[in-house]
Amino acid sequence: MEQVLTILIADDNPSDRILLKAILSQFGHNVISAVDGQDAIDKFDPHTIQLVCLDIKMPHKDGWEAALEIQRIAGDVFVPIVFLSGVTDPIALSNCLRIGGIDFISKPYSPALITAKLNAIVRLLVMQKTLEEQRDAMSLYNEQLLNEQDVAKVVYENITNSNCLKDPALSTIHYGTHTFNGDVILAAYKPNGGMHILLGDFTGHGLSAAIGALPLADIFFDWTKKGFLMRQIIPEINARLKGILPSNMFCSAAFIDIKVNNKSIEVWNGGLPDLLFLPQNAGKPVRFTSKNLPLGVLSADAFECQIEPMSFAPGDRLMAFSDGVYEALDLSGQMFCRSILNPLYLGEIDAEHSVNWLVQQLEQEGVLENPHDDISCLSVRLDTNIGIDSSEHEESRGHDEAPADFSFEYVLNADSLRNTDPLPYVLQILTTVPGLSSFSSQVFMILSELYSNALEHGVLKLSSDKKSSSDGFSLYYEERERRLANLRDGYVKISVKVTSDNNNRSLMLYVEDSGSGFDFQRVNYDISNTELLYNRGLALLDQLCSKLEFTKGGSAVTAHYHWQVGLAS
């Protein structure tokens, strides 16, 4: 371990000073001499001097005073100090070590002892230098990492926040333990009104957890916008996550579909604590227990989608939270799910203030100061106006004037009725029509209303009377699933015709089913009559369309929709 050091020695006794300098120089070290404590301080430079030797008793500041001053100048740089002493008093010597000296050399000098001590000091210096280099490398690396994370965070937030979380119906809380949050809350308006909401919790925390959120958000927003249904989007997300995530990573999630047309929600829960449906006028909440494996665990063919429907009255709320809330520890060390959350489960907390109440509990129990897991919670105030006027505002009108003139027919027989949802595809073709994309939400609403009437009442022969009570509501959907699964015969024909006449454009949607029709003369088009859900749908269509015509005894219906181009926006 040969190393040349630059050594500062300070001794007021000239003969001792010259002797020490001679010994040190002999080993090849550079020696700078000082005649007293103040001189040593003046000559000290932490960047060139690696070792300081100070006599204890000197004029103009003694060795101890000089040592303290030199340490102050050195700051972060480690420069060992060795005291030179003719005294043998143990208290004086231990004082040297107490104020930061690493060793002392007794006079008279013994070259052998000095050599041994210098070697020890060199080893210490080498070790110190290695540590400093490692420390600097680490802090540089850490700084780079944080920089990169900041950039990635911007991208991440742009992708996961391009949604409608600011809707007044939604309240959310979101606390991450790292720069990146492994929890995501996504919300998007559906083209036919209503909203899709997803709360997800990826395995682990930080960047590795957040990375899976990108494809998740991508599919969620894209497919919702295109009009796909919850039961089509969930398997797609599952398949994509299964394909790209390592096998020990997955996403516990809840997916909520708010359907404003028939005042109902559908909930899919895969691995999250129970979602709570809180009725407006208090009472015990209805719990949506996890009935599915989390997203990204099962392969596409093994994946099942267990969805629960529920009807709501305006003002009811639905609440969901990640296990960071459920498993948070209160001040006594109990998990929230066994202590703090009890009043919520018992229906003792006012639905309207449930999120505020939860934040208060998290604060009181000290969870927010020191969270062990990412914490998120969402609550949505259910109502029939969610997502109704939202999409039109963003679209510009009156720019596309190229005339369109085409028609097509799309017939779905039993097998296809069971396995496909034709609406996104039909809508996709229709939105290619210049000008019509501005009205896509209305068109989609007409189309989906006509199609579900044809399928449910025509082909599957379900009676909508069942939907009137909330129990009947879930029974209705169970029955729908059952009949659809057993469907062997039947068809729905969708015919579309788009024509242009100067600035007037028209869309004709014709939907025919294999059912026996219904008594269309008795349809009540009064939209204020909210008693009847089925009629309510038709009343809505009647308002949107310029004309609604029934033929073939009610088993076929034609909706005429008109719009104009070339108008100033």
Positions that interact with other proteins (CB under 8 A): 201, 203-204, 246-250, 252, 270-273, 290-294, 297, 302, 323, 327, 335, 337, 373
Would you say 272 or 427 has its CB closer to other proteins? 272
Q: Which two tokens stand for residue 566?
A: 């070339």
Q: Which is nearer to other proteins, 39 or 373 (CB)?
A: 373
Tell me how far, at minimum, the Cβ of 186 lies from other proteins, in Å.
Answer: 19
What is the radius of gyration, based on Cα positions, of the chain? Answer: 39
Contact 558, 551 (CB under 8 A): yes
54 closest CA partner among 97, 83, 29: 83
Q: Can you list the alpha helix ranges (DSSP code H) found in 7-62?
A: 14-26, 37-43
Q: How far, in Å, CA of 51 to CA of 46, rounded?
A: 9
φ/ψ (deg, to 5) at 458: -80, -70
Neighbours of 169 (CB within 10 A): 18
**Residue 324 beta carbon to other proteins: minimum distance, rounded to whole angstroms:** 10
- Residue number with CB closer to other proteins (80 or 271): 271
Of 337 and 487, CB closest to other proteins: 337
3-state secondary structure 482-506: HHHHCCCCCEEEEEEEEEEECCEEE
Q: How far is the CB of 362 from other proteins (least distance, A)?
A: 19
Q: Is the CB of 182 or the CB of 227 nearer to other proteins?
A: 182
Distance in angstroms (rounded) separating the CA atoms of residues 299 and 549? 46
- Indicate the DSSP class of residue 331: T
Rounded to a whole number of angstroms, the minimum distance from the CB of residue 382 to other proteins is 24
Please, are residues 507 and 443 in contact by the beta-carbon 8 Å criterion?
yes
Least distance to other proteins, CB of residue 348, Å: 22
Cβ proximity to other proteins: between 330 and 512 the closer is: 330
- Rounded CA-CA distance 44/10 in Å is 11
For residues 250 and 451, which CB has a smaller minimum distance to other proteins in the complex?
Answer: 250
Starting at the earlier edge strand, list the strands of the sheet with 264-270. Answer: 183-189, 195-202, 251-259, 264-270, 307-311
Asked if the peptide bond before residue 343 counts as cis, ω within 30 degrees of 0, the response is no
76 burial via Cβ count (<10 Å: 0-12, 13-18, 19+): exposed
Structure tokens at 107: 């006079």
Least Å from the CB of residue 210 to other proteins? 14
Minimum distance of other proteins from residue 264's CB (angstroms): 24
Smallest distance, other proteins to C-beta of residue 293, A: 5
Q: Which residues pair with 551 in a beta bridge?
A: 556
In whole angstroms, the minimum distance from the beta carbon of 299 to other proteins comes to: 8
CB of 67 or CB of 249, closer to other proteins: 249
Task: Please state, in angstroms and rounded to a whole number, the distance separating the CA atoms of residues 101 and 68.
Answer: 10
Shortest Cβ 418–other proteins spacing (Å): 25
Nearer to other proteins, 13 or 203 (CB): 203
DSSP state of 106: E
Least distance between other proteins and beta carbon 184 (Å): 14
Q: Distance (Å, rounded) from C-alpha 424 to C-alpha 422?
A: 6
Q: Which is nearer to other proteins, 48 or 289 (CB)?
A: 289
Q: Is 195:187 a contact under the CB 8 Å cutoff?
A: yes
Least separation in angstroms between CB 247 and other proteins: 4
SS3 419: helix
- Select from 189, 190, 172 the least CA-distant residue to 181: 172
Looking at the Cβ atoms of 44 and 175, the one nearer to other proteins is 175
Q: Is the distance from CB of 241 to CB of 277 less than 8 angstroms?
A: no
- By C-alpha distance, which of 391, 286, 410, 426 is closest to 345? 286
